[in-house]
Amino acid sequence: MFRIRILDRYILSEIVTPFFLGIAALTLVFLLQKMFRLAELVVSKGATLWSTAALFGYILPSFLVLTIPMSLLVATLTAFTRLGTDSEVTAMKASRISLYNMIRPVMLFAVAAFLVTAAMSLFIAPRANHQLKVHLFDMVKSKALVGIEPGIFTSTFDGMVVYVDKMASLDEMEGIFISDERSAKEPYAISARRGKLIADQTSLKVTFAMKQGAIHALPLNDQAYSTMTFDTGNLYLDINNALLPNNAATRDFDEIGSLELYEMLKRYRDEGRVTLGIESELQKRFSLPFACLLFGLIGAPLGIRRTRSGKSAGIALALLVFLVYYVLLATGTNLSNTGKLPPAVAYWTPNVIMTIAALVMVIKKGQELDFGLASRIAHAYHRIRSRRKKIA
């Protein structure tokens, strides 16, 4: 029968506090880049505190998918660094308590964190992303997000600058000028006599409808200038990117529930359509929570060291592990988005590499093995150096 022992409770008590402190600190770091934009909504554009707080709530689940695994590694490294510094690990080993027994409560906690992160990644975050888009759409309709004022240049929407000479409402604008640089290779400007914003409740899209205008393209040389006039024209505005970073590969798929997305994947395959975006989104949702198990497994052996460097060394080591893991993940994601790697390989290769590293470290520490890697490198360095001296 499974029961939690005194040792398990003791180690868990060492992990819980830094874990939740880590979640708070890391989530705050992710939110800082949005806080200035959210503060602007409240101060200069008349958004209510309630609508701004709702934005925080909708953004939070996508951040927690990343911060929960990161906080688990920080907590585990901090706890075992403290236990090692105070010689408590030595005392446990003297009492014939192996590393495997010490890791047991960590893995229990890691499994709980994995289940929470999986629920966030697979179910809660997609729904929150959709609700975020709905909320942004409602703010556009209430004029809180758009921020267009007569006689003032506004850059609310990424890559675009909008100027309106006269404006009675969002449905009655005159003297419109738009500089669109979303495509760096083909920027252009639009001028129109009249226009209005149209909010489509069904598609959650906002369109700038203009009349009697012209499109001015960037001249390719000193003697060529391209312009095109129109009686009516529409320009799509991406309300997602008013607050969120652009991610064209998954901008639509990350709002769809996982089960619905899987059904869509099967349907696309049957129809012979491109499935790269859907596969990437699904693989990302499944692979990120797995990091909780990896970081829980690797944290204990990394934290047990002979140096008396304190908790700060544990945090620094955690940051190094984050860097390695997420560099591998970002590299795989880029290769997947360009079609150079299948999404499954791109998203799971970092997990496989970290799993192998974690198992090697656990076995090394658990069996008190000395692979002698550092000494071998030093010996090889001195041997090469002595040979160079002889040649010289």
- Structural tokens at position 369: 């093995």
pLDDT digits (tens, 9 = 90+) for 329-338: 989 888 888 8
Residue 40 lies in a domain: yes
Q: What is the pLDDT of residue 246?
A: 44
Domain match, 135 and 274 both = yes
Mark which of 203, 238, 273 sits at the end of a domain.
238
Residue 342 domain flag? yes
Q: In what order do the strands lie in the sheet with 205-217?
A: 160-169, 172-180, 188-200, 205-217, 227-237
Q: 195 and 342: one domain?
A: no
Give domain status of residue 250, yes or no: no
User: 134 and 22 share a domain?
Assistant: yes
- Claim to verify: residue 17 and residue 131 sit in the same structural domain: yes
To which H or E segment does residue 337 belong? helix 311-337
Per-residue confidence (pLDDT) for residue 169, from 0 to 100: 82
- The reply to whether 108 and 223 lie within a common domain is no
- pTM of the predicted structure, to 2 decimals: 0.75
pLDDT at 244: 52
Write down the pLDDT at residue 122.
95
- pLDDT < 50 stretches in the chain: 245-251, 369-375, 377-378
Question: How confident is the model at residue 376, as a pLDDT?
Answer: 54
- Which of 205, 238, 271 terminates a domain? The answer is 238
Q: Which of 221, 224, 241, 167 shows the shortest CA–CA distance to 197?
A: 167
Number of domains in the chain: 2
Say yes or no: 172 and 218 in one domain.
yes
Among residues 189, 223, 238, which one ends one of the domains? Answer: 238
Assess if residue 233 is contained within a domain. yes
Separation between Cα atoms, residue 352 and residue 348, nearest integer Å: 6
Tell whether 135 and 10 lie within a shared domain: yes
pLDDT attached to residue 45: 61
User: For residue 227, what are the domain limits?
Assistant: 160-238
Shared domain for 233 and 302, answered yes or no, is no
Indicate whether 155 belongs to any domain: no
- In whole angstroms, what is the distance from residue 236 CA to residue 50 CA? 28
Residue 24's pLDDT is 94
